[in-house]
């Protein structure tokens, strides 16, 4: 959550010459603001919608960079799908999140900014399950990271899990 998936994903897609898809943006276009989905329908319904959008986007043929929301991996169906694709995990620190994130647009952090660390620890096993490689976004520039991720993606070959 708030590790820079969208901004880095756009840069990586340019480096690779492939389309960029932000599943959160797709959800917003189809269903309205995520904060409103959480408020009106609850997190469970949001996760159902999110899993559906992710499955649709991953089913599109051809190379592309698909950025998922930080909580997408808590859905078992999504984790199973991700096992078929190269997955980059972006990590950062709570300090960096609190310094750079727009908390009003993050339903799980808006009322409790310190929740980030607790949420990370709850999700960490899922992140580790799906990730093929991990990059820290607080230790290099976005340009440096984009080059590293693109280089990794060009050479990566998915092994069955």
Domain ranges of the chain: 5-154
Instruction: Report whether pLDDT(148) > 80.
Output: yes
Q: At what angle do helices 43-59 and 34-41 cross, to 10 degrees?
A: 130
The tens digit of pLDDT for each residue in 12-24 reads: 999 999 999 999 9
The tens digit of pLDDT for each residue in 107-123 reads: 555 566 567 678 778 88
Quote the DSSP letter at residue 139.
Answer: S
Instruction: Report whether pLDDT(106) > 60.
Output: no
CA dihedral 104, 110, 116, 121 (to 10 degrees): -120
Instruction: Report whether pLDDT(99) > 90.
Output: no
Task: Quote the pLDDT of residue 100.
Answer: 55
The CATH number of the structural domain formed by 5-154 is: 3.40.50.300
In angstroms, rounded to a whole number, what is the distance separating the alpha carbons of residues 108 and 121?
14
Residue whose structure tokens are 């999110």: 50
């Amino acid at each position: 959550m708030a590790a820079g998936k969208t901004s880095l994903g756009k840069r990586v897609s340019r480096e690779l010459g492939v389309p960029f898809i932000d599943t959160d943006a797709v959800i917003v276009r189809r269903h309205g603001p995520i904060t409103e989905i959480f408020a009106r329908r609850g997190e469970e319904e949001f996760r159902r919608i999110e899993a559906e959008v992710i499955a649709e986007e991953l089913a599109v043929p051809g190379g592309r960079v698909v950025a998922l929301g930080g909580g997408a991996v808590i859905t078992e169906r999504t984790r199973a799908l991700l096992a078929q694709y190269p997955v980059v995990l972006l990590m950062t620190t709570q300090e960096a999140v609190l310094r750079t994130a727009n908390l009003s647009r993050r339903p799980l952090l808006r009322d409790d900014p310190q929740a980030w660390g607790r949420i990370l620890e709850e999700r960490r096993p899922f992140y580790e399950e799906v990730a093929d490689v991990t990059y820290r976004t607080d230790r290099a520039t976005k340009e440096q990271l984009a080059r590293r991720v693109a280089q990794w993606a060009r050479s990566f070959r998915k092994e069955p899990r």
